[in-house]
Amino acid sequence: MEERTEFKIIIDPKYIRQLIEDETRRLLQDKGPGMWWDLKRLEAETCRKRDWLLENVLLNPAFKEQMQFITNNCEGGRWMFRGLEMQRFLDEHFHDLNRPR
Backbone angles phi, psi at 71, to 5 degrees: -115, 170
Q: For residue 74, is it within any domain?
A: yes
What is the model's pLDDT at position 4?
87
What is the model's pLDDT at position 99?
87
Dmax (CA) for the chain in angstroms is 68
- Tally of domains in the chain: 1
Q: For residue 15, is it within any domain?
A: no
Indicate the angle between helix axes 83-92 and 39-46, nearest 10 degrees: 30
What is the model's pLDDT at position 35?
83
Q: For residue 29, is it within any domain?
A: no
Q: For residue 10, is it within any domain?
A: no
What is the model's pLDDT at position 61?
96
End-to-end CA distance of the chain: 54
Strands (E), the chain: 36-38, 80-82
The whole domain housing 80 covers 35-97
Q: For residue 2, is it within any domain?
A: no
What is the model's pLDDT at position 33?
63
What is the model's pLDDT at position 27?
67
Write out the chain's pLDDT in tens, 101 residues: 788 888 888 889 999 999 888 777 766 665 666 688 999 999 999 999 999 999 999 999 999 999 999 999 999 899 999 999 999 999 999 999 998 87
